[in-house]
Amino acid sequence: MHMTEPHISMPYSVFGDGQLTYGDNVHISEHAWISLPRAGACLRVGDHTQIGRFFGVSCAERITIGHSCVIGERVFIADVGHAYEDPSRPILVSGLTDPMPVTIGDDVLIGVGSFIGPGVTIGTHVMIGANSVVLHDIPSYSVAAGNPARVIKRFDFSSGQWMRTGEV
């Protein structure tokens, strides 16, 4: 099936005062949960991106997902967290941390069950392994996996090969 119009499968929840924008041929599978709790928050999804079931987002400022990305089921992306520092206040009402924008480059695959945290930038043509917890930037043309995620392979343009790194 060839789609040109963006499509979000039912059921889904998009709430808050922010904005969701997306390009052509975007598909977000059922049970997406998208929170845009602050005015001015913007989640941007690029052209030809496919997002799996039970996708979750907490976007208080800016999350950008590039074009031609594949995001697996049960992936959660957040540019913000819950404040907890004041022990006299319940976490539920403590508010949010300061947001730190998240940028996911073009041609990225994020494996099933992964978490992408605040302030992370993922480069172009990156593979994130299933169940990874990404808390730091991942450079372009690399493979990262684990909790916390670490780069385990990089593409070496001089040899034209994917090379294992010493960061495993």
Band of residue 5 on the pLDDT scale cut at 50, 70, 90 = low
Give the CA angle between residues 128, 24, 6 to the nearest 5°. Answer: 85
Domains of the chain by start residue, with CATH: 7-164 (2.160.10.10)
pLDDT tens string 55-105: 999 999 999 999 999 999 999 999 999 999 999 999 989 988 999 999 999
pTM of the prediction? Answer: 0.92
Catalytically annotated residue among 7, 27, 82, 136: 82
Residue 71 tokens read as 């995001």
**Catalytic (active site) residue 82:** yes
Measured in whole angstroms, how far is the alpha carbon of residue 123 from the centre of its chain? Answer: 12
